[in-house]
Amino acid sequence: MEMTSGKRARFNRLFNPVDGRAVCVAADHGWMSDPTPNVVELERILKQVVEGGADGILISFGTALRLGHILRGKNSPAMLIRADWMNMPRLGGSNVSNVLPAVNFKKIATSFATDALLVGASAITIYYFIGYGDEFERINLEQAALFARQCRQVGLPLIIEPMAVGGMVTGVNIAEILIASGRIAAEIGADALKIPYTGDVKTFKTLVEQAGIPVLVLGGAKSDVPRDALELVDEALQAGAAGTVFGRNVTKAKDPRKMVADICALVHGGKTISNILNEKRDGFFRLKTIPENCIGCRLCQIACERSHEKGYGQNKSRLQIKFPEIGDELCNFKPVVCTLCGKCVKACQPNALTISATGHLTLDREKCTNCSDCAIACPFDVILIDDEGFPIICDLCQGDPQCVKWCKQNAVVTVPLKKLPGRL
């Protein structure tokens, strides 16, 4: 998809340039529905969302003025501005609280593209309601077209959110309507879509293919259990979605930081849901690297050393980052980790090194003779020797590897291990 340089530059802040995906959080609910706790405590929640590693946060113009400072910094989430307002949640029939019911469905434009630029936005988001009647759709498209023109003029990406609502929408035709509405939005001038899941991979794949622009799936009402929300993400990704815009599933979560981190692990890290939900603890696992994700930030090394040595260095880290050689610009950073190959265990004559019954490398310092044979046997050179002559080994942080936890790029992940190598 082609874009003007302004739009491309701003999109690059939203979509991870490595995988072209984005994890966004919608935090604009206070603009359109009752001030529930997730609205009242928005500042605290947004800080956690930032910590979780979100790529973008959707907020209203007023919230941008009030809390935009949270998004300062090159690596902080991109700001998406909700440029319109509607009263649909107050019409009844939705699952949100509603102290002042509305009767007539209204949707109005509330900000210009230039307003969004002034507060540092990387994109704006607007609704496109389809199915509520011909005149209402005409108004929606008129506003969408106006925003498309404004955004082209100032180089600001436009994200359109098609919503199939109204008496003409049924369970039978909703997928078809969403597919059509995605393409219509693209034809009018959307640069990306924020759109509900159609309910199955096949129809959502059709939607993604026919839209021809990046598609971000939205989460809708809060799921009863996190697994349901993650399964929706997983299916949307299988269908070719470019990421997510989850609102209440994050802002109403017990731990918004973890929820965002979990979604990031799915979207960017290629992790499985079982992996994310710690269901892997039922079996053994090992570390695996995804070099193309690595940006060489060394946060994994710092987390490793902090966890084991209580310091912030990198000299005693259990994993290494190999940097590209000069003249080899195409080469990525290469994280090198212990893969539990077991060669060190086999090389250890005094049996000081073993793999425990829980699947972690263990050193018995009483038995260790400081021979360094384990370090020599390591094919990846990740076993270092400390000042006292003992090997510095990766013990997978006893089942909670900090390098995996802290790597926002998901360059270090865990994979199941069917069988443990070496002697136990």
Partner 1 sequence: MNFDVGKAVRMSDIIDAADGRGLIIDTTLSSVVGALPGLEDFATAIVKINQSCDGLIINPGQAEHHASLLGGKHRAAPIIRLDWTNAYRDETFCLPATEVKRLMISNAEDAFSLGASAVVASFLMGYGDDFEATNIQDLSFLARECYPLSLPLWIDIRTVGEKVSEINFEESIKLGASFMQELGADGLIIPQCLLATCRYVCEWMQIPVLVRLKQTPTAEQLSEIMHSGAAGAVLPESLFALSDYPQQVNELYFEIHQGRRA
CB of 10 to partner 1, least distance (A): 15
Residues 238 and 270 sit within 8 Å (Cβ to Cβ): no
The rounded distance, in Å, linking the Cα atoms of 323 and 304 is 18
Distance of CA 358 to the CA centre of its chain: 30
Comparing CA positions, the residue from 56, 49, 54, 116 lying closest to residue 84 is: 116
Q: Closer to partner 1 at the Cβ: 122 or 339?
A: 122
Q: How far is the CB of 121 from partner 1 (least distance, A)?
A: 19
> Which among 381, 391, 318 has a CA at the least distance from the CA of 352?
391
CB of 44 to partner 1, least distance (A): 39
Please identify, using beta-carbon distances, which residue of 27 and 177 lies nearer to partner 1.
Answer: 177
Find all residues with CB under 8 Å of 102, minimum gap 6, and list them.
87, 90, 91
Q: Which is nearer to partner 1, 192 or 361 (CB)?
A: 192
* Angle made by CA atoms 27, 33, 38, in degrees to the nearest 5: 45
**Backbone torsion region of residue 31, taken as left when φ is above 0, otherwise alpha when ψ lies between -120 and 50, otherwise beta:** alpha
Q: How far apart are CA 159 and CA 167, in angstroms?
A: 25
- Taking the least distance from each CB to partner 1, the nearer of 131 and 391 is 131
R_g of the chain, CA atoms, integer Å: 25
Alpha-carbon gap, residue 251 to 48, rounded angstroms: 9
Place of tokens 């800080």: 47
User: Min. distance of Cβ 82 from partner 1 in angstroms?
Assistant: 21
| CB 137 to partner 1: min, Å | 7
> Residue with structure tokens 């310092």?
365
Retrieve residue 389's tokens.
């002559």
Quote the least distance from Cβ 83 to partner 1, whole Å. 17
Residue 134 vs 388, nearer CB to partner 1? 134
Minimum distance of partner 1 from residue 174's CB (angstroms): 9
Catalog residues that contact partner 1 under the rule CB under 8 A. Answer: 1-4, 130-131, 133-135, 137-138, 141-142, 145, 148-149, 152-153, 168-169, 173, 176-177, 179-191, 209-210, 212-213
Q: Which is nearer to partner 1, 51 or 176 (CB)?
A: 176
Q: Which is nearer to partner 1, 107 or 183 (CB)?
A: 183
Could you tell me the smallest distance in angstroms from the CB atom of residue 181 to partner 1? Answer: 7
Q: Is residue 353 within 8 Å of residue 393, measured between CB atoms? A: yes
Identity of residue 51? E
Distances (CA, A) of 149 to 10, 78, 313: 17, 22, 51
DSSP structure class, residue 219 = -
| Minimum separation from the CB atom of position 275 to partner 1 (A) | 34
Using CA atoms, how far apart are residues 23 and 256, in angstroms rounded to an integer? 13
Nearer to partner 1, 179 or 393 (CB): 179
Q: In this complex, which beta carbon is closest to partner 1, that of residue 213 or of residue 276?
A: 213
